[in-house]
Every structure is written in structure tokens, then in C-alpha cells.
A and B are shown apart, each in its own frame.
Chain A
Amino acid sequence: MSTITLPAEDNTTDDPRRRAPLTMGGQTLTSITETVARIAERPRPPRAWYVAFAVSSTLTAALILAAIYLIAVGVGVWGNNVPVAWAFDIVNFVFWVGIGHAGTLISAILFLFRQRWRTSVNRFAEAMTIFAVICAGIFPAIHIGRVWFVYWLAPYVNQMAVWPNFRSPLLWDVFAVGTYATVSLLFWYLGMIPDLATLRDRATSRVRRIAYGIFALGWRGSGRQWHRYERAYMLLAGLATPLVLSVHSVVSFDFAVSVVPGWHTTIFPPYFVAGAIFSGFAMVVTLMVPARAFFGLKDLVTLRHLENMNKVILATGCMVGYAYSIEFFIAWYGGNPYEQFAFINRAFGPYTWAYWIMVTCNVVAPQAFWFKKVRTTPWMMVIVCILVNIGMWFERFVIVVTSLSRDYLPSAWEYYRPTAVDITMLLGSFGLFFTLFLLFCRYLPMVAMAEVKAVLPHHHAAGDWQTPAPAEPHANGESHQGIRYPDQVSEGH
């Protein structure tokens, strides 16, 4: 067999004899720290950051103003009506919860499955999860008629001696999303502690030193600390893994448990989870591609990472497409005329445009990822991923709005039209998401430095594709060890 020569800048080709490197450009421990920490330490971010921040914070302000208007005047400022009592509010909620799924999946499940390529993107994806859940949490909170009593959904001891109704999926939602937000936040923060310590140690100003110092929780990088850290990380990963499946399953129960034709289907939990991962990965890719270009992270977040994520998108996209078709099959096979109508109405009724946008974006568009060229060309994958995100928003719109607009009694049928406030709040939620994301890029380590260091080629056993880089002294008390994978422990070195 002749020797295959592989271009040094391409790590997307699979050579069965060698493991493809997870970083490029001959990374050393120092270079990784430099690359990542420099972004957060730069006195001024690039001009593009300011432009983006101006736009996104304006949108955030619009969201806040719209929310104040909503609370002051009433839910009627939206287009919701009877029968379509839920519309953009719940569509946005489910959309953002779905976006949040990529982070936990990458950090927890891929961690447990020992997918080391996750290290370059997990921080980023987890941050996205947190921000997406924040965006998601806003909507159910403000969508209720009397926002000032939102705490009644919580089971707290009160003088009214009333307890929430545990039969209601909406209550399950409160718990599911609440748990998810908490665990995700902990997981993200815990994973960031060693990197925050690095930033603290490298800080040149007093303010930064104190700020990062507080959040670094006195991390010193001692062996004992690493030991505890890794245990905690693993436990949280174990905790977060079922949540990836449970959160969106519970969100889907909001629909599946109801009697509304088009909602009441058993396929919803797996279908929602697949859709969530689908949309979450699409969002990670959409943001990662420009971020790695702007912040010089191309060597850490390589094309191979992106390609892997695109493969996940392709796989989950096919699952979603399968779910769409099986819904139709079951509606026909089940013989329930109301359910049959719900699906025919989706595809050919007044919201037919929304349905076909959904199908085109979610089923057709990701098929482009069968082509390696598309999987490995940043601008192409961004286009596909943006389409997927549009499609996934429409999927929720189709589920929520079309089912409600025409349920059992034809006399109650109604067409829903969003108002300007609806649209402002949708755009505003993107504004909030990007604002938080831009702040994250500006002030926090975007890549998990400690973790990436653990997957550098020279940390691998022999047989790796690139020659190990010479060891070098570590500055600033930074750990050279990085996070260990379960299998690494036995491997030793």
C-alpha cells in the first residue's frame, strides 16, 4: 500500500492508520493559552465586535421595551387569540430550549462517550446553552396573563394553602427547564474554573485579577484539586446526560399530553429531542464559523470539528425528516379523522407556506451535508445551518399554531397573525442571545484551554499523526495536565 500524503492544514481526511489531530498549527501548551486567553485580555475587541454588539444590544433593548409594554397593557398586544392561545411566545420558548441542547449534548454525552473533539467546542456550546435557556425562560414567564403571579407555578408553602397541579405538563416544564438551567450553568461554570484561574494569573490589572479571582474560587491547580474537579465534572456530566433527553421530552409533553389533534402524538418526545439537537448544533456551527475566524481560533476549532458537528446535523436532520413522515403515517394509520385533518391541514391548509418552509429547511437543506465539500466549507455550512435554524423555528410554529388554529369545532377555527410586538420580541430574543454571547466572547475563555491541552497530539499514545511537540515549562502555575478522560487514567503517561 502506498503512503498517503496528507496536506498539513487538513485534518478532515480519515487515515485509518493514524488518528487525525484535533488541533492544528503545531499547538503547544503555551500557544493554546496564548491564543485563547489573548482574546479575553485584548484591551479592545475587533471593530466587528462593536458593530455586532451595538446591533444586538439595541435588539435587547427592544425586547425589554416590548416586554414592559406587554406587561403594562396585556397579552393582547400579541396576536394570540382563542383558539390560538399560544403562538410566538411558546414557539420562541421551544425554539430556544432546543437551541440549548447542543451545549449539554457536547459537554455531557460526548464526554461520556469519549469524543475528544468536543474539547474545542464544548465551552462555546455550553455558553450558548445558558444563553439560549435564558432566552427561552423569558417567554413562558411573561406569556402568562398575570405576570406578577408567575411564582404561583412553584410549589411553595403559602397561606392560600394551594399547591400547583402536578398533572399539568406546564408544571413539569417548570421543573424540567429549571433543573436544566441549573445543571447547565453549574456544568459550564465548573468546567471554566481552571481557565478562569489562568486568566486571573495572567491578569495585568487589579480589577481583572479580583474579578477573575473571585470566580476562580481559589484554584491552584493542585493534584487534589484536579482530582476533585474531575470527579465533579464527571458527576455533573452524568447528571446532565439524562437531562438532554428529559428537557425536551418534557417540553414536548406540553403538546403530547393535550387533546389537541396534531399535538397528541406519542412520537413527540424523541422527535423533539432529535430536533433540539439538530437546531442546537446548527446554531453552534452558525456562530462558531465566524467566531473562529474573527478571534483566530482556526487552529483550535478545526474543520474537523465543524465537520463532525455537520455530521450530527445530517443525522438528526434525517431523524426529524423521518418524524415528519411518520406523523403522517400514524395519522392515516390511526384512523382518527381529527388527527388526519390536522396533518393534511398543516401541509395544505392556510399555513401551508410555514409547513413547506419547515420541510425545505429541515429535511432538504441538511442533505447537502452528504457532500464533504459542503461539510468542510465554512460559508456553505453556515448557509445550511442558518436554514436549519429557520426551519426549526418554523417547525415549532407549525406545531403550535397550525394545530391550534383548527382543532375540533370548525366554528372556532381562526387564523393567527403575529403583531409587531410578536416580531419585536422574537428579534429581541436573538438580540439578547447575541448580546450575551458577545459578552462571553469578550470576557471569558471561549475555548476550554485546559481540556484542549489534554488532547494535544503529544498527549496521545504513539501512532499519532503528528510528532509530539517538545515539552516545555509551564508558566503561571497553569496546569499542564488538563482534564483527563476516563480512558486516559488507565492509559497513563
Chain B
Amino acid sequence: MADSGRQTERAEKAVRHWRSLAELADAPEYRAFLEAEFPREADPGGISRRRWLQLMGASLTLASVGGGCRWEQEEILPMVRRPAHRVPGEPQRFATAMDLRGAALGLLVTSVDGRPIKIEGNPDHPQSRGATDALAQASILQLYDPDRSGKLVQGTAEGESVQTWDKFVEFASGHFGPLRKDGGRAFRVLAETTSSPTLAAMRSRLLEAFPEAKWYEYEPLSRDNERAGTKLAFGKVYRPHYHLDRAKVIVAIDEDLFCDHPAGVQYARAFADGRTVVNGQMNRLYAIECCYTPTGAAADHRLPLRAQDIAVFVAALEREITGGSGSAHGKDGESDVGRFVVALAKDLKARRGETVVAVGPRQPAEVHAAAHRINAALGNIGNGVVYFPEPDADRMPHRQAIAALASEMNAGKVETLLVLGGNPVYNAPADLDFAAALGKVRTTVHLGLYRDETALLADWHLPQAHFLESWGDARSWDGTYSIVQPLIAPLLGGKPAIELLALVLGDEKSSGMELVRATFQRIAGAQNAQTPWRETVHDGLLQGSGWSPEKPAIQGAAPQADRAASLSELVWKQGPLEIVFCGDSSVYDGRFANNAWLQETPDPITKLTWDNAAWISPATAAALGVENETMVRLKLDGRELVMPAYILPGQAAGSVAVGLGYGRSAAGFVGGDARRNIQSIGFDTYRLRPLQAQEFATGLAIEPTGEKYRLATTQDHHAIDTVGLKARAARVGALVRSASLEHYQEHPEFARHAVHHPPLISLFDEPEYPGRRWGMSIDVSKCIGCNACVVACQAENNVPVVGKERVLEGREMHWIRIDRYFVGEPDRAQVDHQVMICQHCENAPCEQVCPVAATVHSSEGLNDMVYNRCVGTRYCSNNCPYKVRRFNFFNYHKNLDRPGGALTKMVYNPDVTVRSRGVMEKCTYCVQRIQEVKIRAKNQRREIRDGEIKTACQQACPSQAIVFGDLSDKSSRVARDHAADRSYGVLAELNTKPRTAYLAKIRNPNPELEDAHHVDDHPAG
């Protein structure tokens, strides 16, 4: 009861900002005014029993007379004074930035009638260039999450009490003021890592005010090893940054450059640009990794190695490069890994100065240092690899910070702990027992987006404002300074961290904007005094504020110890396993656990939704007697966790990877909430993660429990039998057409000859399209399978989320499916990604069979879906060879009636119909965006420019794999793509005449490694 009451209240709060800020503040004057103006409104609970019966009687009568047949009435009033530049219904776009992984991604947020509905990348931002990743796309849903914290809660001995900010201000002045006396000796702050200069400024101010206090930063997924590596190599902390556009050979060592790097969006773009064959040249990517990542899938050569073996590999590579040819002697050179090292080294040396060797944050500092030495030896520094001075070089590493804080807390040295964001109770190392340590702190104040695990143990929980509703600033990976501007007043009354710090410091002026502005003045002043504030807010970034690279020199030589290890011993046979802790592609470190869009986004490689699993390679699983979807007991250092196994081809043998961020007990309605008896999604792998092995650990024991668990994958929902496997292997080549660069140069039109078929004749007269002919092309060479398009489409087109059970039943609703095919022998499988959406066939099989003509062709060749007309026979879906049609088996928008639904439904795009139950839906080529541009062009009496219409998927795509446009304009990019030699239509032999063309995948394998791999010749695993 209490919960539902709270929710209703929250929902009411959610709509408040629409009326006035005074109401939001719940000012007493406003209450009085309200009482006078709307007596009932002021006291909703004051209905007498008699009045209630009267009302019930009357409504029953009305219902029986026919009142029940009416739609709910709603009054819409125009604004008396329209704010400047606001045209009702006309979308506006505002620049802002999202700070994640300690770096900013510049965004451009679309706002309709005052509510932000869609996130795009800021085209001017060097990291984004208009693209985004899946997490940024989904963050808009987080803004409207009704489970987000909207109340200040004070936990006292008597229980919880809901407080106001005024009360907290009162408390803060009474509490933090006296702390200054002893310099804040027992005052600690635990913050998340951000790139915000304002927050850094606030930190210095706080440490000035409380000189004895300490400021700790903790992130469960940190790049501290990278920092330590530069320190080791150069004697100073630097931030490596890669110019993949300048690189001909890229080596990603346990590093997901595209999907798990703060500059991933930029890297994906630069990499994809290099995939285009220019003058017979394209870049080559090697990936050496333990878990399958999108980077590994994009690689021309991928070597699965245990995380612990990578150090040996890198040492061998370094020897091979620095020691001249033939260094990997004897037996080592014969092994698969040895040959890989030799070939890779040769390739790198041949491309001196045009290569990048990148090592991932999971690897220890020594490996990073080795990579820096390799880069230096290859002359990459200053070309493909640049180094920026790290802005916060003196910061204590996260692991040490959390350990130090925990020991101080246990020792009773901490009396006041201020947690700024973050959820250490959930994600701190398991052996620290942070929750118990927190019990020894007298006063804990927690600021968070959610009332999460940490908040529940805190004495004060304060709601944090979402980045879309607060002022702030951030720097991108290369230092570009962005201003985070709010798109909407805080919906739930939260405050950003900088404002809270101002409050703790007792500032008179604590508005976020002023704080940011002060920082801006300082930064812009140093940069360029002329740059006005408004312009920067408008552009979303301060041009030229990126750091200038330095050219550090290597200090010291490679350590000798590594030489002992042999490459041929790197093959796991039997014995103890390794466990690798990975950030999750959907929930990151757990902070997005309550984001239903992300939960339902299939992992790029496993296609798993709504769960995490222990990834085990087929060979390892066979050796351990583990089958897919069996529950296994993982034992590490006396800690145990039972979770399902997922057999992942291409996972390094002997290595078990587990995703972090699941098994939340206080995430919310979606991710799990013990207080409301909502089961957690997935399994909490933090419980296994020790302080000393935050990245990976050896000595893992696994035993199958014999129980089965159902994992909701969107592909291969069940084990595929031999018949199916053979057929799949036979088909993949025709669906995802690919060739090596060499083959492509000999046979540029190979993709067109992959499938031969008799002449295609249509039964019906084929319509002509004298005007525009919309079409799309998808470059398979560029697609990295990162899911940005999937979430972008979901946000743009109001695609519902269906939940784990429905995914298991095969009823996911995504309009874009990224098909993933494993090719090659299971333990070394290669991954091919293929974006599959409605192909808008000119001769569409779906149109012919619809009995009510609910799916028809437009005059511009779009395969339109008329929702109003659809009765739901589902025949179109059966007859769609691409199976891209999605059916509303249930009313997926029913939850909008729940408390909080009023908030959730603000996320909907008003230009797109929300589909009802029983209706078929599918990709429309973002027809609403086409219409918007058409109208604009018509009003301006001009033609539509090529590239002016961007579909949501195209706009979000970091690698620019998707192109949309008018096929009748022969000079348009899409028409050129359709005419390109690599262009082919999937299943075009059915005479569907698809309007979506695929550009065949070109791989650039190293000829010397081809024999060792045979990836293209083997049947699928």
C-alpha cells in the first residue's frame, strides 16, 4: 500500500513541472493559493463516505447509460504567452553531453513541446560526429523512469521519513558546518569518476574547506590499468588516444575499441572509414581477446586467448618487433599463437608508423607498458597513437580508493560519508563487505538517481538529477569541453552533484548554471576570451578546447622476466579456469539495470536479453560437462555463485567470462526490487569479484548443478540440431556475402554472382515510380553490430518492450534485428553481423497476401503499414522472407495505466503512432522523418538535399554503415551504393526487388595467417 501510494505521489510529481515551478517547490503560498482556487485539488483524500457513495452511484448509472463508451476527456489549452521560438508540435534541438566512462559524448537532444524525446549525437562534436551508442540512445528512457528517485528519504532509528530539500539544507548547515572545525577529519566523500571540470573545481573547494577530509573515487569498471601503464612506460600518467583513421593496421589486445571505450563512437567511425577500399587498400584489424567483443567480430583476424595469457602474447610480440625477425624460436614459432605473433609482427613492421596497438583496461599495467613500447618502436606515437596529459593524474586508483575507504570506515575513522552517485554497496569488491563497513559510519548521505542498494543503507538519500535535467559540464576523451544543459526542469526534484556540493559548502548561490558558468569562464578564458557562453551552450562544445597531444618518451626497457613463458603452452587443456569480469553491453556496470530498452537489447555477440550468463567456450564446456543453459556453480576464493552457462563460440578456452551489473536487489520495477518482491534480472557477479582481481582471476572452479535455466536470446532460442546447422552453414555465405580484399580485387562483382537463379518474372504489373524512390543501403563491411541502431529505432518509433518471457516465446518487437552468424570452427568462430530490417520490397510478398490491404505501397515505393486497417491475420509475417514484421500479441502499452505511466509515456515520439494490440508493425524507413523533411523542403520551395533525411538507425550508427536516400537521384549516395560493385539484395532471387541493398563485406586478412585459420572455408559452428 505504502509503495503504491508513493508511486502515485511520484507520478503526480512527474506531471507537476507542467504547471509551475512554484508548485514543484511545494511552496506554502502556492498551497494556499491552490486551496482557494481548487478546493478539491488541494485535498484529494477528503471525500466523505456519503459523497463517495453518491459518486459511485452516479458513475454506475452513467456507465450503464453509455458513459462507458466515451473516450476519456482531456482539455488542451493553448499557451497564453508562447515562449520564444516555440511552435507547438515543432521539435527543437538542444546540445548537451552525456558523461559516461569518465568521458563525454556530445549530444543533440530533440525536444517536443518542452519534453525531450530523442537523443542524437552532436554532429559538431569530434567524438560523436552525429552518432551515438546504445547507452546514450537509451538514457532518454532513464529520464522518464518512474522508479527514479524522487524523494529525499531520511533513515532514522524509527524508520524512514520523507523529507524536503529545505529540511536537508537545514540538516546540512547544522551538520557540515561543525565538521569544518577539525577540518573534516572524519569526513569522506566517495564519488564516481566524471570528466566534469566543475565537479573537479567543487572538489578542490571542498578539500579547501575541509582540509582533513578525503575524496575518493570509485568506478567498478575503470581504466586505471591504462593510466598505470603509461606511468610505467613514460614515468608520467598519460591518456592514450588513437587515430584509427591514420592506421593501416590496428591491433586491439583485449580491448573493445568500439563498444567499451570512452571514445568508442569516434573509433568506430574512424575504423569504418578505413574499411572502404581506396586504391586497393583498406585497414586491417587484429583482435586478441578472451571474450568475444564487437571489435573481435569486426576483426580480420581474431585470436582467442585467456586474459592471463595475453601478457605472454604481448611480451612475445614485443620481442618479435624489437628483436628483429625470427625471435619466436623453435616450438613457439610452430604453434598457432606463435605463427600469429610472427605474422602480426611482420605486418606491423611493414607498416611502421601507420599502425595502432591498443590494450584494454582489463590487462595489467605491464601489458600496457609493453604496448606503449611497441607503439614507440613502430613509430606510432604522434601518428596513430597520441598521448594527452591526464587531467587528474594524481587521483588514487579506484581499487585502492575503495579499499582505503573501506578500511577507514571499518576502523571507525569515518563519521560522515557523502556518496555522490555510485552504488558501492552493490558494486564494491566482494571481500570488502562495504555494506557492513557502511554500518560503522555515523552519517551517510547518498545522492543517486535511484534509491538503490547504497541508498537503502544511507541515513540520507537525496535524489540526483538526470543529466538531461541538470546543468553540468564534461570533457570528452580528447579533452573537448562540453556544457551539459538541461532539457527540462528536474521531473522528480533531484539535484546534480555540483549543486549538492555547493549546498554542503554552504554557498549562497548554488545554481548549477552559475557554477558551470564560472568554470566555463575559467576554461574559455584560458582558451579564448572571446567565446561567448551562449554560443558554447548552443553548440554544445567549446571549439578547440581539446588537449594538445604530447610526445612522451619511453623510460626503461622491457622487463626480462616475461621471456620464460612459452607461447605453445598458452593452450588450455585441463585444470583451473580463469574468470573474467566484463562490463555488460546493456547495463554497463549495473547503472542501467532498470532501463527496459537496454535490458531487451540483445548482446551484440550472444544475442542474450534480460540476463547475464557465464560465457564458456565450446571446448571448455565439453571438458567440464556443461551444456548450454545449465546452471553452473562458480567457485572463486571461497565465494560461490550459481548462474547459467552460455556456450559461446570464440570464447577463449579455459576462460569464463561473466557480465557485471545484474542481480540488482534495489534497481526498480524492471531490474529487480526486493522491497516490492520484484525478482532481480540476472545474477550478481560482483559477489564473486575480489579486490585483488577486479578484472580477471584464476583458480575458478565450475561444477554443473544439473538444473536448467532459460536464457532469452533473440537468435537460436534453442539448441540447433545438425540438420539446421548444416543448412545455416550453407546459407550464410549467400546472405552475408563476403570476400577477401584480394578476391574482391580480382572479382569486384563477386557479390552479384553468389546466387544464380532463373529469370525473375512478376505475376502482376509492376508499378512505376516516376518521382522519388526511397531506398537504403547497408554496408556490411562497416557494421560492427553495436546495437546503437536498435535502440535508436526503439526510441524513435515507440517500439514496445515485451519482457523476458515474451522474448523466450519469440515475440520481441525490435524493428531492427542484427543477425549474428558464427562462421568457422566453434572455438575460433568468426562472427558476421547483418542488420535486418524491412527491405521495402517493390514486389512485396507481404502486400499481396494481406486480405484487408493494410500493407500497401506508397507512390514513392515505401512499403507502408496501415495500422488502422490491420486486423492482424499475421499472414504478411508468414510471407515475409526476411521475417522482419512484428506483431502486437498483447497490449504492450498497458503498463501506462500503472502509477508512473504518466511519466513513462512522455518518452513517446508524438510523430509515431503507438500501436495497439493485434496489429502488425515493422520498419517504416522512418516515414515521419521523410515527411518532416518533405514538408520543410516544400515550404522552402526547394528540392530535398541528398542526406537531408536520415533514418533513426542511420543517424545513430557510429560506423556510418547505413545510408538512406532517393534512388531516382543517380548522384545520391544511396543510388551510388545500390550501383556499387559490392551491392546485392538479400534473397533477391525471390523477386522481391528489395529497396535495401547490402554492400558485401570485404575482409582484409593477412595472407600469412590464412592457412592457419581457414575461417572462410569451414562450415558454421
Q: Which residues of A are interface residues toward B (Cβ below 8 A)? A: 73-76, 79-86, 143-147, 149-150, 152-153, 160, 162-165, 167-171, 174, 254, 257-260, 337, 341, 344-345, 348-350, 404, 406-416
- Would you give the shortest CB distance from B68 to chain A, in whole angstroms? 16
Asked, given contacts A84-B810, A144-B873, whether A411 binds B849 with beta carbons under 8 Å apart, the answer is: no
Which stretch, B53-61, B439-447, B456-464, B912-920, touches the partner chain A? B912-920
B929 interfacial contact with A, CB 8 Å: no
Contact with A along B502-532 (1 / 0, CB 8 A): 0000000000000000000000000000000
Query: 17 new A-B pairs (CB below 8 Å) besides A169-B849, A174-B851, A409-B882?
Result: A74-B888, A74-B891, A75-B887, A75-B918, A145-B920, A146-B870, A149-B871, A152-B869, A168-B850, A168-B851, A171-B851, A259-B845, A259-B990, A337-B730, A409-B731, A409-B987, A412-B883
Q: Indicate if the CB atoms of A75 and B872 lie closer than 8 Å.
A: yes
Q: Indicate if the CB atoms of A152 and B811 lie closer than 8 Å.
A: no
CA A74 – CA B802 in complex, angstroms?
14
CA A86 – CA B877 in complex, angstroms?
9
Q: Indicate if the CB atoms of B918 and A85 lie closer than 8 Å.
A: no
18 A-B contact pairs sorted by A residue (CB < 8 Å): A75-B872, A82-B883, A86-B878, A143-B873, A145-B873, A145-B919, A152-B869, A162-B869, A165-B852, A167-B764, A168-B850, A170-B849, A259-B845, A341-B727, A348-B721, A410-B724, A410-B732, A413-B716
CA A45 – CA B774 in complex, angstroms?
70
Which B residues, 758 to 776, have Cβ-Cβ distances below 8 Å to chain A? 764
B986 / chain A contacts, CB cutoff of 8 Å: 409
B782 interfacial contact with A, CB 8 Å: no
A349 / chain B contacts, CB cutoff of 8 Å: 721, 723-724
Q: Indicate if the CB atoms of B806 and A76 lie closer than 8 Å.
A: yes
Q: Indicate if the CB atoms of A146 and B850 lie closer than 8 Å.
A: no
CA A409 – CA B716 in complex, angstroms?
12
Q: Which residues of B are interface residues toward A (Cβ below 8 A)? A: 715-718, 720-721, 723-724, 727-728, 730-732, 735, 764, 806, 809-811, 817, 819-821, 834, 836, 845, 847-853, 869-875, 877-879, 881-883, 885-891, 916-920, 986-987, 990
B720 / chain A contacts, CB cutoff of 8 Å: 413
Residue in A75, A164, A171, A416 whose Cβ sees the most chain B Cβ within 10 Å:
A75
Closest-by-CB residue of B relative to A417 is: B809
Q: Indicate if the CB atoms of B727 and A170 lie closer than 8 Å.
A: no
Q: Indicate if the CB atoms of A168 and B848 lie closer than 8 Å.
A: yes
Asked, given contacts A73-B890, A153-B852, whether A345 binds B724 with beta carbons under 8 Å apart, the answer is: yes
Q: Indicate if the CB atoms of A145 and B877 lie closer than 8 Å.
A: no
- Would you give the shortest CB distance from A170 to chain B, in whole angstroms? 4
Asked, given contacts A74-B918, A408-B987, whether A168 binds B849 with beta carbons under 8 Å apart, the answer is: yes
B916 / chain A contacts, CB cutoff of 8 Å: 146
A153 / chain B contacts, CB cutoff of 8 Å: 851-852, 871
Q: Indicate if the CB atoms of B885 and A82 lie closer than 8 Å.
A: yes
CA A344 – CA B727 in complex, angstroms?
10
- Would you give the shortest CB distance from A415 to chain B, in whole angstroms? 5
CA A144 – CA B727 in complex, angstroms?
32
B891 / chain A contacts, CB cutoff of 8 Å: 74
Q: Indicate if the CB atoms of A409 and B887 lie closer than 8 Å.
A: no
Residue in B715, B848, B872, B990 whose Cβ sees the most chain A Cβ within 10 Å:
B872
Asked, given contacts A74-B891, A82-B811, A171-B851, whether A145 binds B881 with beta carbons under 8 Å apart, the answer is: no
Query: Which single member of B809, B871, B877, B890 contacts A83 (CB below 8 Å)?
Result: B877
Asked, given contacts A152-B852, A406-B724, whether A85 binds B878 with beta carbons under 8 Å apart, the answer is: yes
Asked, given contacts A146-B918, A260-B879, whether A409 binds B819 with beta carbons under 8 Å apart, the answer is: yes
- Would you give the shortest CB distance from A347 to chain B, in whole angstroms? 9
- Would you give the shortest CB distance from B718 to chain A, in whole angstroms? 5
B852 / chain A contacts, CB cutoff of 8 Å: 152-153, 162, 164-165
CA A18 – CA B793 in complex, angstroms?
79
CA A79 – CA B730 in complex, angstroms?
29
B871 / chain A contacts, CB cutoff of 8 Å: 144-146, 149-150, 152-153
Closest-by-CB residue of A relative to B806 is: A76
Closest-by-CB residue of B relative to A167 is: B848
CA A428 – CA B273 in complex, angstroms?
61
Asked, given contacts A153-B852, A409-B819, whether A168 binds B875 with beta carbons under 8 Å apart, the answer is: yes
Asked, given contacts A165-B850, A170-B849, A258-B849, whether A345 binds B727 with beta carbons under 8 Å apart, the answer is: yes
- Would you give the shortest CB distance from B896 to chain A, in whole angstroms? 16
Closest-by-CB residue of B relative to A405 is: B810
- Would you give the shortest CB distance from A88 to chain B, in whole angstroms? 13
B987 / chain A contacts, CB cutoff of 8 Å: 408-409
Q: Indicate if the CB atoms of A144 and B810 lie closer than 8 Å.
A: no
Determine chain B's interface SS by DSSP, over half rule: loop
B874 / chain A contacts, CB cutoff of 8 Å: 75, 80, 85-86, 144-145
B848 / chain A contacts, CB cutoff of 8 Å: 165, 167-168, 257
Q: Indicate if the CB atoms of A350 and B718 lie closer than 8 Å.
A: yes
- Would you give the shortest CB distance from A397 to chain B, in whole angstroms? 15
Q: Indicate if the CB atoms of B811 and A76 lie closer than 8 Å.
A: yes
Asked, given contacts A169-B849, A409-B819, A411-B820, whether A144 binds B889 with beta carbons under 8 Å apart, the answer is: no
A415 / chain B contacts, CB cutoff of 8 Å: 717-718, 810
CA A58 – CA B21 in complex, angstroms?
62
- Would you give the shortest CB distance from B274 to chain A, in whole angstroms? 27
- Would you give the shortest CB distance from B224 to chain A, in whole angstroms? 39
- Would you give the shortest CB distance from A163 to chain B, in whole angstroms? 7
Query: Which single member of B810, B869, B870 contacts A82 (CB below 8 Å)?
Result: B810
Closest-by-CB residue of A relative to B884 is: A412
A165 / chain B contacts, CB cutoff of 8 Å: 847-848, 850-853
CA A149 – CA B868 in complex, angstroms?
10
CA A344 – CA B848 in complex, angstroms?
28
CA A465 – CA B879 in complex, angstroms?
59
CA A349 – CA B732 in complex, angstroms?
19
A416 / chain B contacts, CB cutoff of 8 Å: 810
B735 / chain A contacts, CB cutoff of 8 Å: 409
Closest 10 CB pairs of A and B: A145-B872, A145-B918, A76-B889, A81-B810, A412-B883, A85-B874, A411-B819, A410-B728, A170-B851, A146-B918
Closest-by-CB residue of A relative to B764 is: A167
A171 / chain B contacts, CB cutoff of 8 Å: 851
CA A162 – CA B871 in complex, angstroms?
14
A412 / chain B contacts, CB cutoff of 8 Å: 817, 882-883
CA A416 – CA B735 in complex, angstroms?
24
CA A166 – CA B918 in complex, angstroms?
22
Closest-by-CB residue of B relative to A84 is: B810
CA A260 – CA B883 in complex, angstroms?
11
Q: Indicate if the CB atoms of B724 and A83 lie closer than 8 Å.
A: no
Q: Indicate if the CB atoms of A411 and B836 lie closer than 8 Å.
A: yes
CA A406 – CA B810 in complex, angstroms?
13
Q: Indicate if the CB atoms of A74 and B883 lie closer than 8 Å.
A: no
- Would you give the shortest CB distance from B546 to chain A, in whole angstroms? 41
B811 / chain A contacts, CB cutoff of 8 Å: 76, 81-82
CA A74 – CA B918 in complex, angstroms?
7
- Would you give the shortest CB distance from A93 to chain B, in whole angstroms? 12
CA A345 – CA B819 in complex, angstroms?
21
A404 / chain B contacts, CB cutoff of 8 Å: 878
A410 / chain B contacts, CB cutoff of 8 Å: 724, 727-728, 731-732, 821
Closest-by-CB residue of A relative to B872 is: A145
CA A152 – CA B919 in complex, angstroms?
14
B809 / chain A contacts, CB cutoff of 8 Å: 76, 79, 81
Closest-by-CB residue of A relative to B728 is: A410
Q: Indicate if the CB atoms of B872 and A146 lie closer than 8 Å.
A: yes
Query: Which single member of A144, A341, A409 contacts B881 (CB below 8 Å)?
Result: A409
CA A252 – CA B320 in complex, angstroms?
68
Q: Indicate if the CB atoms of A258 and B817 lie closer than 8 Å.
A: no
Q: Indicate if the CB atoms of A146 and B919 lie closer than 8 Å.
A: yes
Closest-by-CB residue of B relative to A342 is: B727
- Would you give the shortest CB distance from A398 to chain B, in whole angstroms? 15
CA A281 – CA B890 in complex, angstroms?
39
CA A162 – CA B599 in complex, angstroms?
41
CA A404 – CA B735 in complex, angstroms?
19
A337 / chain B contacts, CB cutoff of 8 Å: 730-731
Q: Indicate if the CB atoms of A408 and B715 lie closer than 8 Å.
A: no
